[in-house]
Amino acid sequence: MKISILCSSASHPIYPHLQHWVQVTGATHAVELVQRKAELSGGDILFLISCHEIISAGDRTRYGKSLVIHASDLPQGRGWSPHIWQILEGKNDIVVSLLEAEDQVDTGAIWAQRHLILEGHELFDEINAKLFAIELDLMNEALASIGRKAPVAQDGRAPTYYPRRSPADSRLDPAQPLARQFELLRVADPERFPAFFDFRGHRYLVRLEKVGAIDD
């Protein structure tokens, strides 16, 4: 098969994992990893992974299937950064969905789902490692399912939507206890969107590092 992956930013944490997937999968398929839709060459499968461009129906006609991975139990949690918002809500069991790309965001039929199970202590890099492993597994599932499995339309639940996160969403409140803000601390991207707080006329960045387990 001829496979394309469109990931808009090489600085996104998943990008090195996609590069490794391309290297492994390239042994049996023709695979390209690009950052702009203008670079897409067409083929059998298009994966849109952290893609920020609008991929129209016309763009998708160049592929047999165009697929997206979205970390929510669709139609609940459409929109931006769904696993981050759910962790902030206190969830530790997050559904990750492989679905068809459509003009309306996150509305496509579902091919497969997996569960991201967290224990509540994982930091940003550990959350990503678990999530990305599931996403790559779903990409492999797609290769195995094409022509063998029919996708299922999303169910009739009323959809919900998450907004796009901004740097301001990583703001801590120095007047609040650390325990109340731990979820925000652990999901903050330490490089792109670090946690921060303003205090006594200055702004301070906070980067959290796990040392190891302790006995309670």
Q: Does 75 sit behind a cis peptide bond, omega within 30 degrees of 0 on the bond before it? A: yes
Q: What is the mean pLDDT of residues 65-83?
A: 97
| The pLDDT value given to residue 216 | 66
22: three-class secondary structure by DSSP: helix
Contact 15, 30 (CB under 8 A): no
CA–CA separation, 208 and 120 (whole Å): 15
Rounded-to-10 torsion of CA 25, 62, 52, 17: 0
Structural domain spans, the chain: 2-162, 167-206
Q: Torsions phi, psi of 152, nearest 5? A: -115, 130
190: three-class secondary structure by DSSP: coil
> How do 195-199 and 93-100 pair as beta strands?
unpaired
Nearest to 39 by CA among 26, 53, 18: 53
pLDDT digits (tens, 9 = 90+) for 8-29: 999 999 999 999 999 999 999 9
Rounded-to-10 torsion of CA 62, 64, 66, 67: -160
pLDDT digits (tens, 9 = 90+) for 171-213: 999 999 999 999 999 999 998 899 999 999 999 999 999 998 8
Structure tokens at 215: 């006995």
Contact 171, 204 (CB under 8 A): no
| The pLDDT value given to residue 146 | 87
pTM for the predicted model, two decimal places:
0.94
Architecture of domain 2-162: 3-Layer(aba) Sandwich (3.40)
CA–CA separation, 103 and 63 (whole Å): 15
pLDDT digits (tens, 9 = 90+) for 159-169: 999 999 999 99
pLDDT digits (tens, 9 = 90+) for 125-152: 999 999 999 999 999 999 999 888 899 9
| The pLDDT value given to residue 6 | 98
User: How many other C-beta atoms lie within 10 A of the C-beta of residue 155?
Assistant: 10
pLDDT digits (tens, 9 = 90+) for 96-107: 999 999 999 999
Contact 63, 45 (CB under 8 A): yes
